[in-house]
Structures are given as structure tokens and as C-alpha cells.
Amino acid sequence: MGGNFFEKVCNKSGLAPSNLRHQAKKPERTKNMLEDFKITTPLVRLNGFAGNEAYIKLEGSNLYGSAKDRCAIYVLTKLLEEGAITRDTEIVESSSGNMGVALAAVGARLGLKITIMIDESISKLNEFLITSFGANTVKITEADENGSYLKARLRTVREYIESHEDVYWFNQYGNPLVIEAYRETVGKEIAQQMPDADYVFVAISSGGTIAGISQAMAKYGQGIKVVAVDLEGSKIFDPNTKAIKHLTGIGSSIRSDNVQRAVFDDHIVIDEPSSIQALYDMLQKEQLFLGGSSGCVVAGAERYMQEHGLQGKKIVLVSHDRGDRYFNNLYSKYFG
Ligand SMILES: Cc1ncc(COP(=O)(O)O)c(C=O)c1O
């Protein structure tokens, strides 16, 4: 379909994929940059949730498709406004997922040079988006002993920083500004939309989202409890695990600085089949097309409430992204 489509329609009119490459221009604006990106994501009531009133916060409704947009927008605009970086500073980050897409898009709108360390496991769609939005990429091809590219990507970032000038490492794994970003955006928004919630369930990986949302619940949310949801195979709660995981965005091979800074109330670890079953349930019973970590969060919240005998509570589930980006793996059974 892809090749045929271009042959039938686009090539004739001179629109070839190579022509889509973005030519970054530096926008004139320096003030009120946040206004460009003002967005509130929906909080949707689920039809049924085992005796509890559950709502799902759809972060996939952000401009570039994930919760990571919040972080890229908040941190980059703050750094520019405070003069910690200039329009000539090169922003570097390690990501084969949503953070890379968000930084590439937001960085382009702000006129910043963005370089993303990706790895060969990156989906074609994410690589297409990152490069089409105008970011440079450095691709890592050697996995570490756990089959993960994370450590190799981080090593490459460090080498890059040492050999280049005027570079800022965004560092979602350790930058305290990342935590502040989630606290002041999605975290504050949840507290305002659901001030009487009892629990918030959040996926954990590099740790920024849960750390920020936990801070927001303490600051704005009158003690709403926060539960981290992780995937079997992650080393965050089980450093010696040998389990292999396949979902992306969740299931970290390191316990990052931002994970260590996160102060949440409890955690639960969920297996992959339960996460994927929860995704299909959301699709068919709730008409929600969600990304893999969201399946983990839904399954985790359900199990947590059942195991603790909790009924009649108001709970919020944070969904990081939509299913579109995973149609050819998580949802492949529907696409042949
Ligand atoms: C889809 C998805 N879910 C969950 C997470 C976890 O968020 P954090 O890295 O802030 O812990 C990420 C992070 O990349 C993600 O992309």
C-alpha cells in the first residue's frame, strides 16, 4: 500500500518521501512560548472497573502523541526563558521512543538543534517522525548483556557531550527539571480535574512522570495516593530479574536518578500477557486505543484494587500514549 500509494499519487506530483525532510528555521518568538503549546488532556470515565469509579487520563491526546510532550515543552521553554540555553545550544537525548519524538517536534518549533541517540530497535514510525521533524540521529547497533540498548545509548551521549561544544543533555533519567515538568503540567491537571481521587496509577520507567505526579499529589492533591506500575523484566523493583520483556516505554534496565528521587505510596509489577489482554479489553469494552504501558497500568490498577480489597474508590489511571504507534506489534493480531 505504502509504495503503491506514492506511485499512484505522490511521485507524479513530485512529493517524494525525501522531500518531506524538515528545514529547521529559527522562529522569531522568544516570549510566551508556552502559549503555543497550551493543552489540557481528557480525563475519561471508564464504564466498568471492578467496583471502583475509574477515570483514565489520556496523555496520548498531547500534540505529538504522548505524555513526553509535556516534559519537552516545559523544560525547553524554561531553559530558554531562563537563559540556561540559547537558540544555538544543541540539545542531546537518548531515546528510541516518545521522548525523542517530543523533543524533535518541540525543539523544531523553538528553533533548537536536536540530536537523538536512537538504537536499532526503534520503530520505523518513531524514526520517521524524529527525522521528519528535523532532528539529527545517532544510531546505536550493539545491545548490552540484557539485550537492552539503554546503557549503550547513554554511553554514546556522554562521549558526544565530551567531544562537542554548547551541548545540553536533556537527560530524562536524571534531570530534576523533568520531575518539575510533570508536577506542574499533568500532575497539577489531575489534581485539579479529580481533587477527590483516592489513587493515581502511573507507569514507571525513567521515573520522571511518577516522581512529578507524586509531588503534585502532595502539593495540589490533598494526599491522593500514587501507585507505580511496572512490567515484569524491569530492574527497578527486581534488580536481579532475568525475565525478558517486549513492551516498550516501560520495563527499565536501570534504576535511574529520577526513579530514586520519586516518592510514591506503593507499587505493583504486572506480566506482559495481562498487560496486552488489558489493551484488548480497553479497545473492545471502552473504545480506547492505547499504547502498551497503558495496558500495564490498567491491569496493574485492577489487580491492585482487587488484591487490597478496595471498593467504591475514585481512581485515575495515567495512559502515556495511544495504540497507533504500536499497530504493527501490540495490535498485529488484528492486522495479519
Ligand atoms: C509509553 C510510555 N509509557 C510510560 C513511560 C514511563 O515514563 P517515565 O519514563 O517518565 O517513567 C514512557 C517513557 O518513556 C513511555 O514512553
**Residue minimizing CA distance to atom 5 of ligand 1:** 249
Minimal CA–CA distance to 50: which of 280, 226, 304, 224? 304
Q: Which atom of ligand 1 is nearest to the CA of 293?
A: 3
CA angle 314, 316, 321 (to 5 degrees): 160
Measured over the CA atoms of residue 57, residue 62, residue 68 and residue 72, the dihedral's sign is negative
pTM of the model: 0.92
**DSSP3 helix / strand / coil % (the chain, rounded to 5):** 45, 15, 40
* Ligand 1 neighbour 204 (Cβ under 6 A): yes
At 277, list the grid cell. Answer: 489482554
Minimal CA–CA distance to 49: which of 248, 186, 201, 223? 201
In sequence order, what are the beta bridge partners of 230?
A: 269
* Ligand 1 neighbour 187 (Cβ under 6 A): no
2 Cα–ligand 1 center, Å? 30
* Ligand 1 neighbour 207 (Cβ under 6 A): yes
What confidence score (pLDDT) does residue 1 get? 47
CA 139/CA 120 separation, integer angstroms: 7
Q: Which of 103, 229, 293 to mutate to test the pocket of ligand 1 (most atoms within 8 A of CB)?
A: 293
102 Cα–ligand 1 center, Å? 12
Helix, coil or strand: residue 224: coil
At 79, list the grid cell. Answer: 531553559
Q: Which residue has the cell 498487560?
A: 275
175 Cα–ligand 1 center, Å? 15
**Residue minimizing CA distance to atom 12 of ligand 1:** 249
* Ligand 1 neighbour 209 (Cβ under 6 A): yes
9 Cα–ligand 1 center, Å? 37
At 10, list the grid cell. Answer: 505522490
* Ligand 1 neighbour 293 (Cβ under 6 A): yes
**Residue minimizing CA distance to atom 2 of ligand 1:** 249
Q: Tell me the CA distances in angstroms from 144 to 194, 197, 259, one per residue in order.
A: 42, 41, 21
Q: What is the mean pLDDT of each run of 10 residues along the chain (336 residues)?
A: 64 62 56 70 92 97 96 95 95 95 96 95 94 96 80 90 96 97 97 97 98 97 94 96 90 94 98 97 96 98 97 98 94 83
* Ligand 1 neighbour 270 (Cβ under 6 A): no
Q: Which atom of ligand 1 is nearest to the CA of 291?
A: 1
What confidence score (pLDDT) does residue 336 get? 67
